[in-house]
């Protein structure tokens, strides 16, 4: 519909919790130029987060939700893991169904919304951890790319199964000792960004979330390309400070370190994606 | 004053009619077709928004034919998914987004998809799965066998079991109508015995194809569709569903009971649209009763005729149309003066016998014989049932070889 759905009946307003009233009055709706610079002033679309203190994933959530160009028509699909604990706090339609099926659910939602609302643009964005995206859900992830589903997939890579207590994942670096890898991981980190390119994604980025404005730009580009061309994939390093033994104030430091090495900013785009991004830039939307 | 009547059309251009008119009143024409073709005919008249397919014998043809309907403009969304696990998630997405959605599967596909079924029910999606049952055992079999139905009985989905292609047609249409009732709104699995129904050609009576069910209205659902057309209902400071505390446990418990209650609330609707949850066949005073569902019901009727007419053993049949909800009261009523109950089945474990015993426990002294039972592709000629009955009664078979 539009951000009208967040309007509260005047007669009931005095009984509504402040955060719901703020959503109507102070959130940024109907403005595709919204972004991370609104964060200090606008009502955020994530109320609180249930992650550990200082978790970089919580920063990623805030930047992503602040950067959605069309939140009033955006559906978020998530999966099981640390991230799944955050979704009830998000003021948009979100889905959690199973562990690893997020891109399949998103495919069904996107296609049916296109059928039901042929005259509207509804963005479908998948937010899931590395276990959900790359291990248990790899089939559904890649198949949605093969099928050229017009969805944006964002992977929060913390290189570990954090929510279940710190087990090795496919995204753990080789040699790292975690639970279920007591002798250290025996094989390399899965090059998921490369798999996304080979599987047909039109816009692929690998980065940390150390720079909010950079995250905003990438998110907007990915969503605009997904809307018009096909699947897009963003791989974000959001370290699990708990499992690698850092303090609550060291997440940003960790990301800045890896910015220079294995999470050096990497961006890929097809010609069709380039064309969309160029046009959106000309329109002043990126 | 002249009366005006507003005529509505669905997106395929078919005239929208009431479910009662489509199922009970519309003129019908005789056709000769397979169960798979009947699926196409039912979907064509059901204003379906979405379907996702995956190949597995024996349901593939039905899934192909739904694809043809998509090409012809009768179905809005259609594609081939990556596996049954993926497909059952994709159709869940379609239903969450507010589309009337149907899919089909068989045997190992059902098991591959298994994690999705309780999720469908817990998400209150009025999805329809046409299940063309086949063997699931190793070594590989593609033969008829309905063991898989037992795995679905406790998923929170309604489970109906059609006897023939005609009943499958009625059940697919009625399935949407019942599943989408706001006070029901759980998935419906319309099961048939694969090959016996899917691949056998038989006479079916069909209403015209220029009329169809009213389109699904997702805004009558007890859970809002995921389409950002209504305010999201889950913006919570304290998301109880993710906490380990008493409120969380209590809400999970009550939700599970609620899903089962929703199935119970489907009874009056199912009773109306299926013309009863059971069918009684044969001499109502007979002391020998065969309880069966699906094609075993059809074979039981043949056996009851042989027993009554040729062997002098009056026999009747209680054929169940719904397994969830389970028609326990109806069975008890129908058993009146029964002396023997037999439960013939097309699976090795006897899930229907188990269900029958559960509802009759402590309520009747009638012996329940879980036999005959065939599996793995064996057929069950009526003579096998006749023989079993005569053996139990200590009678000599007169006419059966």
Average the pLDDT over B22-33 and give the result.
Answer: 98
**Residue B243: per-residue pLDDT:** 61
User: Cβ A104–B239 below 8 Å, yes or no?
Assistant: no
Count CB pairs under 8 A between chains A and B: 153
**Residue B238: per-residue pLDDT:** 52
**Residue B139: per-residue pLDDT:** 86
Interface membership of A48 toward B (CB under 8 Å)? yes
Residue A26 lies in a domain: no
Number of domains chain A contains: 1
* pLDDT per residue as tens digits for the range B31-66: 999 999 999 999 999 999 999 999 999 999 999 999
Single out the residue of B217, B69, B198, B188 nearest to residue B127, CA to CA. B188
Let me know whether B283 and B141 are in one domain. Answer: no
Residue B366 lies in a domain: yes
**Residue B235: per-residue pLDDT:** 52
What's CA B93's distance to the chain center, in Å? 22
- Are A217 and A269 in contact, with CB atoms under 8 Å apart? no
* pLDDT per residue as tens digits for the range B255-276: 899 999 999 999 999 999 999 9
Single out the residue of A76, A65, A60 nearest to residue A28, CA to CA. A65
Q: Which residues from chain A sit within 8 angstroms of residue B242, using beta carbons?
A: 50, 84-85, 88
Average the pLDDT over B243-248 and give the result.
Answer: 66
**Residue A88: per-residue pLDDT:** 81
CA distance B224 to A76: 15
Average the pLDDT over A260-266 and give the result.
Answer: 95
Quote the mean pLDDT of chain A.
Answer: 95
Partners of residue A94 on adjacent β-strands: A76
Whether the pLDDT of residue B237 is over 60: the answer is no
Tokens at residue A201, please? 């994604």
Tokens at residue A31, please? 């403005």
Single out the residue of B19, B67, B76, B48 nearest to residue B207, CA to CA. B19
Order of strands, sheet of B288-293, starting from the edge strand that comes earlier in the sequence: B278-282, B315-320, B288-293, B340-342, B368-369
Measure B88 CA to nearest chain A CA, in Å.
9
Interface membership of B85 toward A (CB under 8 Å)? yes
Tokens at residue B263, please? 């199935």
Q: Of the candidates B82, B97, B224, which has its C-beta nearest A143's C-beta?
A: B82
Contacts of A141 by beta carbon, 8 Å cutoff, 6+ apart: A102, A103, A133, A134, A153
Number of domains chain B contains: 2
Interface membership of A16 toward B (CB under 8 Å)? no
Residue A96 lies in a domain: yes
Note which residues in 240-299 of chain B have CB less than 8 A from chain A: 241-242
Interface membership of B26 toward A (CB under 8 Å)? no
Q: Which domain holds residue A110?
A: 45-282
User: Cβ A19–B235 below 8 Å, yes or no?
Assistant: yes
Tally of CB atoms within 10 A around B375 = 20
* H or E, element range at B252: helix B246-265
Measure B239 CA to nearest chain A CA, in Å.
6
Average the pLDDT over A201-228 and give the result.
Answer: 98
User: Cβ B228–A23 below 8 Å, yes or no?
Assistant: no
* pLDDT per residue as tens digits for the range B125-145: 999 999 999 999 778 889 999
**Residue B155: per-residue pLDDT:** 98
User: Cβ B123–A97 below 8 Å, yes or no?
Assistant: yes
- Are B110 and B39 in contact, with CB atoms under 8 Å apart? no
Three-state secondary-structure class, residue B213: coil
Output the CA torsion sign for B358, B196, B161, B300: negative
CA distance B62 to B108: 17
The strand pair at B128-133 and B188-193 is best described as parallel
Interface membership of B83 toward A (CB under 8 Å)? yes
User: Cβ B50–A112 below 8 Å, yes or no?
Assistant: yes
Angle at B359 between CA B394 and CA B305, to 5 degrees: 40
Average the pLDDT over B300-314 and give the result.
Answer: 96
Whether the pLDDT of residue B199 is over 60: the answer is yes
- Enter the DSSP assignment of A135: I
Let me know whether B170 and B92 are in one domain. Answer: yes
CA distance B111 to B362: 34
Residue A19 lies in a domain: no
Residue A56 lies in a domain: yes
Interface membership of B84 toward A (CB under 8 Å)? no
Single out the residue of A91, A133, A139, A268 nearest to residue A194, CA to CA. A268
Cis geometry, peptide bond prior to residue B139 (ω within 30 degrees of 0) = yes
Q: Which domain holds residue B345?
A: 278-393
Residue A228 lies in a domain: yes
Contacts of B59 by beta carbon, 8 Å cutoff, 6+ apart: B36, B104, B105, B106, B109, B130, B131, B132, B194, B198
**Residue A282: per-residue pLDDT:** 98
Note which residues in 241-260 of chain A have CB less than 8 A from chain B: none
**Domain boundary pick from B219, B237, B261:** B219
Q: Which residues from chain A sit within 8 angstroms of residue B81, using beta carbons?
A: 104, 143
CA atoms within 13 A on the CB side of B236: 14
**Residue B253: per-residue pLDDT:** 87
**Residue B250: per-residue pLDDT:** 82
Query: ipTM beyond 0.90?
Result: yes
**Residue B38: per-residue pLDDT:** 98
Let me know whether B46 and B183 are in one domain. Answer: yes
Interface membership of B154 toward A (CB under 8 Å)? no
Question: pLDDT confidence of B397, banded at 50, 70, 90?
Answer: confident
Three-state secondary-structure class, residue B283: coil
Q: Which residues from chain B sit within 8 angstroms of residue A123, using beta carbons?
A: none
CATH number of the domain residue B54 falls in: 3.40.50.970
**Residue B240: per-residue pLDDT:** 54
Q: Of the candidates B83, B97, B236, which has its C-beta nearest A89's C-beta?
A: B236
CATH number of the domain residue A102 falls in: 3.40.50.970
Tokens at residue B397, please? 């078979």
Residue A29 lies in a domain: no
CATH number of the domain residue B369 falls in: 3.40.50.920
Output the CA torsion sign for B47, B52, B56, B61: positive
Residue A203 lies in a domain: yes
Residue B238 lies in a domain: no
CA distance B63 to B91: 13
What's the Rg (C-alpha) of chain B? 22
Residue B121 lies in a domain: yes
CA atoms within 13 A on the CB side of B374: 15
CA distance B173 to B152: 21
**Domain boundary pick from B201, B219, B237:** B219
Let me know whether B81 and B189 are in one domain. Answer: yes
Q: Which residues from chain B sit within 8 angstroms of residue A109, using beta carbons?
A: 93-94, 96-97, 226
**Domain boundary pick from B189, B219, B249:** B219
Exposure of B298 by Cβ count < 10 A (0-12 exposed, 13-18 middle, 19+ buried)?
buried
- Are B16 and B9 in contact, with CB atoms under 8 Å apart? yes
Give helix A56-67 / helix A251-259 axis angle, nearest 10°.
Answer: 70
Residue A208 lies in a domain: yes
Tally of CB atoms within 10 A around B238 = 12
Question: What residue ranges in chain A does DSSP mark as E strands?
Answer: 74-78, 93-96, 123-129, 152-157, 203-208, 232-237, 266-269
* pLDDT per residue as tens digits for the range A155-198: 999 999 999 999 999 999 999 999 999 999 999 999 999 999 99
* pLDDT per residue as tens digits for the range A70-114: 999 999 999 999 888 888 889 999 998 999 999 999 999 999 999
Alpha-helical segments (H) within B97-242: 107-112, 116-122, 147-152, 165-179
**Residue A120: per-residue pLDDT:** 95
Note which residues in 133-172 of chain A have CB less than 8 A from chain B: 139-140, 143, 147
Quote the mean pLDDT of chain B.
Answer: 94
**Residue B177: per-residue pLDDT:** 98
**Residue A277: per-residue pLDDT:** 98
* pLDDT per residue as tens digits for the range A45-79: 998 888 999 999 999 999 999 999 999 999 999 99
Whether the pLDDT of residue B236 is over 90: the answer is no
Residue B87 lies in a domain: yes
**Residue A105: per-residue pLDDT:** 98
Measure A73 CA to nearest chain B CA, in Å.
6
Residue B6 lies in a domain: no
**Residue B2: per-residue pLDDT:** 62
Question: pLDDT confidence of B245, banded at 50, 70, 90?
Answer: low
**Residue B135: per-residue pLDDT:** 94
Q: Of the candidates A5, A108, A122, which has its C-beta nearest B231's C-beta?
A: A5
């Amino acid at each position: 519909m539009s951000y009208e759905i967040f309007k509260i009946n005047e007669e009931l307003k005095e009984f509504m919790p402040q955060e719901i009233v703020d959503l109507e009055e102070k959130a940024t709706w109907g403005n595709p130029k919204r972004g991370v610079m609104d964060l200090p002033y606008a009502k955020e679309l994530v109320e609180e987060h249930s992650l550990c203190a200082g978790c970089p994933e919580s920063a990623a959530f805030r930047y992503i939700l602040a950067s959605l160009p069309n939140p009033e028509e955006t559906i978020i699909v998530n999966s099981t893991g640390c991230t799944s604990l955050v979704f009830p706090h998000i003021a948009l339609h979100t889905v959690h169904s199973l562990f690893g099926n997020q891109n399949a659910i998103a495919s069904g939602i996107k296609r049916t919304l296109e059928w039901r609302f042929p005259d509207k643009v509804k963005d479908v964005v998948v937010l899931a951890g590395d276990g959900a995206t790359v291990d248990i859900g790899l089939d559904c992830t890649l198949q949605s790319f093969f099928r050229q589903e017009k969805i944006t997939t964002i992977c929060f890579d913390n290189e570990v199964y954090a929510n279940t207590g710190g087990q090795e994942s496919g995204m753990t670096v080789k040699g790292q000792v975690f639970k279920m890898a007591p002798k250290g991981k025996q094989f390399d980190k899965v090059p998921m960004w490369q798999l996304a390119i080979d599987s047909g994604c039109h816009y692929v980025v690998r980065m940390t979330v150390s720079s909010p404005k950079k995250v905003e730009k990438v998110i907007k580009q990915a969503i605009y390309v997904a809307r018009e061309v096909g699947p897009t994939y963003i791989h974000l390093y959001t370290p699990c400070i708990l499992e690698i033994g850092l303090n609550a104030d060291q997440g940003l430091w960790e990301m800045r370190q890896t910015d220079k090495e294995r999470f050096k900013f990497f961006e890929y785009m097809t010609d069709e994606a380039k064309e969309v991004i160029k046009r959106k830039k000309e329109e002043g939307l990126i | 004053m002249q009366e005006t009547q507003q005529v509505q059309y669905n997106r395929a251009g078919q005239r929208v009619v009431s479910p009662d008119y489509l199922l009970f009143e519309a003129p019908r024409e005789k056709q000769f077709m397979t169960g798979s073709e009947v699926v196409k005919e039912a979907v064509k008249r059901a204003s379906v928004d979405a379907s996702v397919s995956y190949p597995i014998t024996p349901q593939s043809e039905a899934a192909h034919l739904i694809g043809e309907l998509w090409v012809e403009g009768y179905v809005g969304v259609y594609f081939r998914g990556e596996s049954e696990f993926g497909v059952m998630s994709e159709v869940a997405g379609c239903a969450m987004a507010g589309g009337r959605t149907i899919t089909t599967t068989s045997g190992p596909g059902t098991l591959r998809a298994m994690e999705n079924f309780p999720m469908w029910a817990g998400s209150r999606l009025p999805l329809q799965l046409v299940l063309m049952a086949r063997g699931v055992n190793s070594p590989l079999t593609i033969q008829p066998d309905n063991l898989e139905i037992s795995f679905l009985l406790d998923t929170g989905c309604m489970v109906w079991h059609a006897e023939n292609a005609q009943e499958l047609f009625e059940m697919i249409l009625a399935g949407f109508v019942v599943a989408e009732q706001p006070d029901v709104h759980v998935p419906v699995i319309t099961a048939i015995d694969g090959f016996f129904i899917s691949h056998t050609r038989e006479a079916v009576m069909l209403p015209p194809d220029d009329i169809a069910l009213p389109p699904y209205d997702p805004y009558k659902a007890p859970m809002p569709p995921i389409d950002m057309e209504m305010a999201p209902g889950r913006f919570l400071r304290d998301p109880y569903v993710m906490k380990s505390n008493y409120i969380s446990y209590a809400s999970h418990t009550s939700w599970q009971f609620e899903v089962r209650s929703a199935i119970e609330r489907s009874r009056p609707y199912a009773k109306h649209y299926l013309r009863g949850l059971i069918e009684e066949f044969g001499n109502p005073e007979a002391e020998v009763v065969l309880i069966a569902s699906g094609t075993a019901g059809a074979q039981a009727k043949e056996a009851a005729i042989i027993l009554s007419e040729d062997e002098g053993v009056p026999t009747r049949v209680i054929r169940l149309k719904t397994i969830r909800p389970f028609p326990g009261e109806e069975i008890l009523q129908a058993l009146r003066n029964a002396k023997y109950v037999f439960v013939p089945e097309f699976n090795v474990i006897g899930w229907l016998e188990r269900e029958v015993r559960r509802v009759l426990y402590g309520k009747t002294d009638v012996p329940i014989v879980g036999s005959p039972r065939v599996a793995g592709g064996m057929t069950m000629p009526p003579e096998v049932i006749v023989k079993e009955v005569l053996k139990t009664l200590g009678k000599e078979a007169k006419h059966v070889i």
